[in-house]
């Protein structure tokens, strides 16, 4: 009997040891995002800084000693918290989208500590536009958010100064890291940097830069959130085992499509893709050797590209359509959807969830409805009731020039999601 007892005890201890060992192997907790961007380049990535950025970084090294400002992020930004369950991050869900079961080592994880990753690339005069985009994400998103900001070195201080001035309630939710512009060694960094909009091609190299991040949402600077980022993030759970990214169509109607009428290179589907908002499973993109496929496409088609990195993504997914999930236009609503006629059916039903202010419509008078949304978010004060934001949007939409414009005539679609959020908040705060 004593012998059996001892054997049982040893078997139990062995099982515990195996569990602990297995847990350590499975646990993919988010490694620290490298805080010093130069050390990111030299120790891990083997990427080259943009030549101009190298000089600017050297020239500004003394002036940047105030980086100790960074209480919640910045160049020496806060490390995103690790997930708490030992499962592949590709399969986790935000708290409000939890699957019915949560096996400890299964395919799903639901953790209130889970964090969403957002990436943006800003060069030139795009700082304020980027900040308004980030502000809109914070306003509507309840899950913790880490933003990866890639920018020219001379813009870093301005980003840190502005974001660090936001109230403490924002920093309870938001952390961030700022990186310089960097491209693979052996590549012409100036050529890549000038591909279409300055630095936009940086996004193509994120999988090999953010090697400790599993999945993220990339957005252009001219994007505004009108609904929680968590809801778009849920499309990761809709991906099958082969899909590694998600994008919206460039057009819904072939008669006004650009790619089907003018493109001189292969493109996805019937009307192509718009790349302003892109869900990226970086783990799968790395396994797919995404970067090693994109660079040859650039060398083959570079004289035929009009829209730069967007064209390259269209070429890639033309040849690998099974790798892409397409989400509806309500998540990437552009002037093209209303300036001629209303042609985004999903936005008619659900409202506009994300606004894409391409062609600088946030700043010119061509589409005043888009400018109205941008200015309303820009002027909204953190820590005030979101109903004030809705009131500001409604007031600007009622201005004569806005109301008379084609896109202004569907103002209800721009307001629908915000109205829904305000209604929910009024119910939860009611006595």
- Please state, in angstroms and rounded to a whole number, the distance separating the CA atoms of residues 196 and 244: 24
Q: How far is CA 148 from the centre of its chain?
A: 9
Does residue 254 have a pLDDT over 70? yes
pTM, two decimals, is: 0.78
Largest pairwise CA distance in the chain: 92
- Please state, in angstroms and rounded to a whole number, the distance separating the CA atoms of residues 193 and 371: 28
Does residue 60 have a pLDDT over 50? no
pLDDT of the residue at 114: 64
pLDDT-derived band at 318, boundaries 50, 70, 90: very high
How many angstroms separate the Cα of 112 from the Cα of each of 134, 148, 150, 378, 401?
21, 21, 27, 29, 44
Does residue 310 have a pLDDT over 90? yes
- Please state, in angstroms and rounded to a whole number, the distance separating the CA atoms of residues 426 and 420: 10
Percentage of the residues of the chain whose pLDDT score is greater than 70: 73
Instruction: Judge contact between 140 and 227, C-beta under 8 A.
Output: yes
Does residue 32 have a pLDDT over 90? no
pLDDT-derived band at 328, boundaries 50, 70, 90: very high
Phi, psi of 114 (to 5 degrees): -60, 150
Average pLDDT, the chain: 81
The radius of gyration of the chain's CA atoms, rounded to the nearest angstrom, is: 23
């Amino acid at each position: 009997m004593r012998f059996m007892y001892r054997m049982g005890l040893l078997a139990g201890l062995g099982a515990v040891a195996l569990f602990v060992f297995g847990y350590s192997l499975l646990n993919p907790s988010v490694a620290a995002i490298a805080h010093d961007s130069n050390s990111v380049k030299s120790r891990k990535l083997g990427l080259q800084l943009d030549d101009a950025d190298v000089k600017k970084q050297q020239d500004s090294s003394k002036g940047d000693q105030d980086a100790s400002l960074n209480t919640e992020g910045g160049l020496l930004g806060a490390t995103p918290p690790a997930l708490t369950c030992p499962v592949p991050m590709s399969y986790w869900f935000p708290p409000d989208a939890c699957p019915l079961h949560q096996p400890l080592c299964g395919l799903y994880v639901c953790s209130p500590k889970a964090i969403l990753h957002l990436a943006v690339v800003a060069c030139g005069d795009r700082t304020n536009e980027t900040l308004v985009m980030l502000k809109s994400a914070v306003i509507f998103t309840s899950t913790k958010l880490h933003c990866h900001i890639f920018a020219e070195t001379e813009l870093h201080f301005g980003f840190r100064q502005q974001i660090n001035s936001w109230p403490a309630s924002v920093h309870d939710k938001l952390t961030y890291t700022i990186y310089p512009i960097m491209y693979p060694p052996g590549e012409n960094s100036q050529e890549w940097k000038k591909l279409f909009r300055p630095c936009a091609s940086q996004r193509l190299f994120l999988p090999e830069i953010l090697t400790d991040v599993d999945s993220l949402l990339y957005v252009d600077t001219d994007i505004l959130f009108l609904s929680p980022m968590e809801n778009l993030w849920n499309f990761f759970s809709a991906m099958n085992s082969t899909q590694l990214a998600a994008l919206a169509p460039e057009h819904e109607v072939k008669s006004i499509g650009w790619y089907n009428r003018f493109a001189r290179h292969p493109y996805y589907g019937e009307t192509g893709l718009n790349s302003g908002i892109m869900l990226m499973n970086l783990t799968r993109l790395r396994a797919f050797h995404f970067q090693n496929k994109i660079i040859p496409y650039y060398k083959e088609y570079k004289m035929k590209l009009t829209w730069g990195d967007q064209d390259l993504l269209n070429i890639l997914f033309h040849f690998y359509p099974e790798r892409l999930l397409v989400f509806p236009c309500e998540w990437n609503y552009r002037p093209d959807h209303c300036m001629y006629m209303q042609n985004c059916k999903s936005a008619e039903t659900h409202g506009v969830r994300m606004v894409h202010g391409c062609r600088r419509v946030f700043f010119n008078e061509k589409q005043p409805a888009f400018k109205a949304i941008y200015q309303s978010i820009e002027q909204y004060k953190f820590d005030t009731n979101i109903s004030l934001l809705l009131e500001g949007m409604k007031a600007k939409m009622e201005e004569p020039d806005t109301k008379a414009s084609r896109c202004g005539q569907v103002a209800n679609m721009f307001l629908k999601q915000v109205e829904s959020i305000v209604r929910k908040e009024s119910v939860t705060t009611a006595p």
